[in-house]
Structure 1
Amino acid sequence: MTDGRATILVVDDMPENIDVLVGILKADYKIKVALNGPTALKIVQASPPDLILLDIMMPEMDGLEVCRRLKAQPMTSPIPVIFVTALGEVSDEAAGLAVGAVDYLTKPVNAAIVRARVKAQLALYSQAQHLESLVRARTEELEQARLHVVQCLGRAAEYKDNETGLHVIRMSHYAEKLARAAGLPEHFCQVLLHAAPMHDIGKIGIPDGILKKADRLDEQEWGVMRTHPELGARILGDLETELMQMASTIALTHHERWDGEGYPQGLKGEAIPIEGRIVAIADVFDALTSRRPYKDAWTIEDTLKQMISDSGSLFDPTLMEHFVGLEPELRLIAERYREQR
């Protein structure tokens, strides 16, 4: 609405009919007019009104077709359409309602009825918009709550491994950026952002004596450590939501290598799911650029240099090219979620 008043678009090929409706409504509403269907569609696309009064019998494009096109577009489909026409048969009214109109007025119009119908439909439209806004806000709130729960689950594994919980936040953002750079769909990127923090959840099942050992692991201990991807997949794998299925895949495959020398399955090249290949890069990048009790943090320059040298052996070379191109964004993420010591 503009300056507190609703905007109504009046569409009719007869100027005198437009003048009648404008005269009835102009005291209470902001009015726009169109003499044909194509012009009406352009006006709606440029600045959607709150309600449309639409004639049916018009040359070039009749009102029924205008209404169909409006209802076919997500941005314009909610706008209430009231047909105002000389066609007075029940079948005509039914046809109008069938294409998505909310009401049907016959000419010559009665001023009081026009005002009442317009007021009623605008009230319903306003209420619907308010409810949609509440639902959208609640959905966003639930989405944030879900993300926080997922991040906490990921942090649980990191704390058990003597790492800070900020690792899972940074690496999940690195992974999302890489997925976008690789041209993956928006929905995939969003699910990946939520799933990536759980990549090491299997470490919960590794004994502390192995997980926190300061010295190099012996062969037997290393064999136990290498079971954490399968443990993670089992922890997450019974849940059939898209998020948990991706998280399970990531947990199982993020230690696979492009050359087939990784674990636990020894997958090679594109046989490794792309989410696993992406998280492998994001995880190693954050591990190398982060300070740990047993090592200092590497610079981003040195880290990328090392990872480039491992491209084609540890990492998907195409994804690594995309990742190197993200250096400015990687720096911003690293700074935003920097450790506080």
Structure 2
Amino acid sequence: MKIVIVDDTPMSLTMLQYLVRKLPDCEAICFTDPQEGLAWCGANQPDLLIVDFMMPDLDGTTLVARFRERHHDVPVLMVTANHDVALRHEALQKGVTDFLNKPLDNVEFIARARNMLALRKNQKLSYDRISWLDEEVRKATRQIVEQERSTIFCLAKAAEYRDPETGSHILRMAHYSRHIARVLALSNADQELLLEAAPMHDIGKVGTPDAILLKPGRLTPEEFEIMKQHAEIGYKVLSQMRSPLLAAAAQIAYTHHEKFDGSGYPRGLTADEIPIFGRIVAVADVFDALTSARPYKKAWSVESAIQFLIDGKGKHFDPSCVDAFLSDWDEVIAIRERFADDESANETSMALEVHA
């Protein structure tokens, strides 16, 4: 353990260094210049500071006060011939742990120093224990997050197998959503949460009858009412677990079909009544759905889809979300190219790319 000794009297310094050698597994670092001693402590981690009270330029009490700015828990032993109670009280308030009187009693010095070092060892053991516990918590949290991601992946794949939309659509709209969130200056944590939760937006379609879900033509009004139920079904499925990720996914499933002017479903929310995640996903999902081919429709041109978004500002869509989506078009194109539909629209890409 490193014991720093600061005393402007060489003879006293030599005596203290001699006594420290009697302590097991200890190294004495000695300074006659208090400024040099303080500088060393600023760049290193001592285990005990032994400091003289009376020193020129920088007295022991002032040195300890400055030492405490960096080292809050390291024990400090002050050596002094001054018995003034007020001065000792001041030194204790500035961070001195204990005192030794001059002339030194060698036995007392060894005993007090050992006590101080035992205190320091217990502190370090406690810090090590806290660090270990922190790491264990981080490991457990990572496992929970990975489990949640696996749940998201499996549920999204279950919906995909019943829905004519492709896995690439899910990836594109999720990354479009993060792109919008980034431009809107949402926090990095919210951007990542949105990226991971957005793929669950249509999970409620697992409860939609195949005759409606896979119908190649336009739905009748009665069929559309049944189709609309997928928003509430998705919310009910995802809200069963208390998890920030699944809670966000539930919110998105419930609100991404709401419209800015209140004409959407399932609750007819308007403007800021619609959570920001729902407003963002509405833009990302519609754009990709329009520009993607389906068994029941041809893909729209990008230009037509852009115009649809622009025409829908303030009606279907939050204008700020549309503007954010269109503001960095190079990023949109990069996402389209990265997750282009192909014959291998593979499952592993969802597992790996959705949180890339």
Structure with bigger gyration radius: 2
How far apart are residue 208 of structure 1 and its match? Answer: 0.2
Question: Which consecutive residues of structure 2, in runs of 5 or more, have no partner in the other structure?
Answer: 52-59, 81-87, 344-356
- Report the Cα distance in structure 1 between the residues aligned to 2:34 and 2:174, rounded to whole angstroms: 53
- Report the Cα distance in structure 2 between the residues aligned to 1:236 and 1:177, rounded to whole angstroms: 24
Superposition RMSD on alpha carbons, in Å?
Answer: 4.7
Instruction: Tell me, yes or no, if structure 1 residue 267 matches structure 2 residue 269.
Output: yes
Which residue type is aligned with residue 205 of structure 1?
A: G
- Report the Cα distance in structure 1 between the residues aligned to 2:46 and 2:239, rounded to whole angstroms: 49
8 Å CA contact retained: 1:155, 1:164: no
Larger mean Cα displacement after TM superposition, 120-129 or 232-241: 120-129
| TM-score (normalised: structure 1) | 0.69
- Report the Cα distance in structure 1 between the residues aligned to 2:231 and 2:237, rounded to whole angstroms: 10
Which residue type is aligned with residue 177 of structure 1?
A: H
- Report the Cα distance in structure 1 between the residues aligned to 2:208 and 2:241, rounded to whole angstroms: 22
- Report the Cα distance in structure 2 between the residues aligned to 1:207 and 1:231, rounded to whole angstroms: 13
Aligned to 1:84: 76
Higher normalized contact order (CA 8 Å, seq sep 6+, divided by chain length): 2
The 1:87–1:251 alpha-carbon spacing in structure 2 relative to 1, beyond 3 Å, is farther
Instruction: Tell me, yes or no, if structure 1 residue 228 matches structure 2 residue 230.
Output: yes
Tell me the number of residue pairs that the alignment of Structure 1 and Structure 2 aligns.
308
How far apart are residue 65 of structure 1 and its match? Answer: 5.2
Which residue type is aligned with residue 58 of structure 1?
A: T
Which residue type is aligned with residue 246 of structure 1?
A: A
Which residue type is aligned with residue 278 of structure 1?
A: I
Instruction: Tell me, yes or no, if structure 1 residue 248 matches structure 2 residue 250.
Output: yes
Aligned to 1:77: none
Aligned to 2:61: 58
8 Å CA contact retained: 2:148, 2:245: no
Aligned to 2:316: 314
How far apart are residue 151 of structure 1 and its match? Answer: 2.6
| Equivalent residue in structure 1 for 2:215, among 213, 226, 235 | 213
The 1:142–1:327 alpha-carbon spacing in structure 2 relative to 1, beyond 3 Å, is farther
- Report the Cα distance in structure 1 between the residues aligned to 2:176 and 2:49, rounded to whole angstroms: 51
Larger mean Cα displacement after TM superposition, 123-132 or 222-231: 123-132
Larger mean Cα displacement after TM superposition, 181-190 or 197-206: 181-190
How far apart are residue 60 of structure 1 and its match? Answer: 7.7
- Report the Cα distance in structure 2 between the residues aligned to 1:50 and 1:297, rounded to whole angstroms: 65
8 Å CA contact retained: 1:195, 1:247: yes
- Report the Cα distance in structure 1 between the residues aligned to 2:178 and 2:17, rounded to whole angstroms: 52
Instruction: Map residues 140-155 of structure 1 onto 2, 5 A cutoff.
Output: 140-155=142-157
| TM-score (normalised: structure 2) | 0.66
Q: Secondary structure at the match of 1:167?
A: helix
Q: Secondary structure at the match of 1:177?
A: helix
Percent of aligned pairs with the same residue?
A: 36
8 Å CA contact retained: 1:151, 1:169: no
Instruction: Map residues 264-303 of structure 1 onto 2, 5 A cutoff.
Output: 264-298=266-300, 303=305
8 Å CA contact retained: 2:239, 2:246: yes
Larger mean Cα displacement after TM superposition, 111-120 or 145-154: 111-120
How far apart are residue 316 of structure 1 and its match? Answer: 0.4
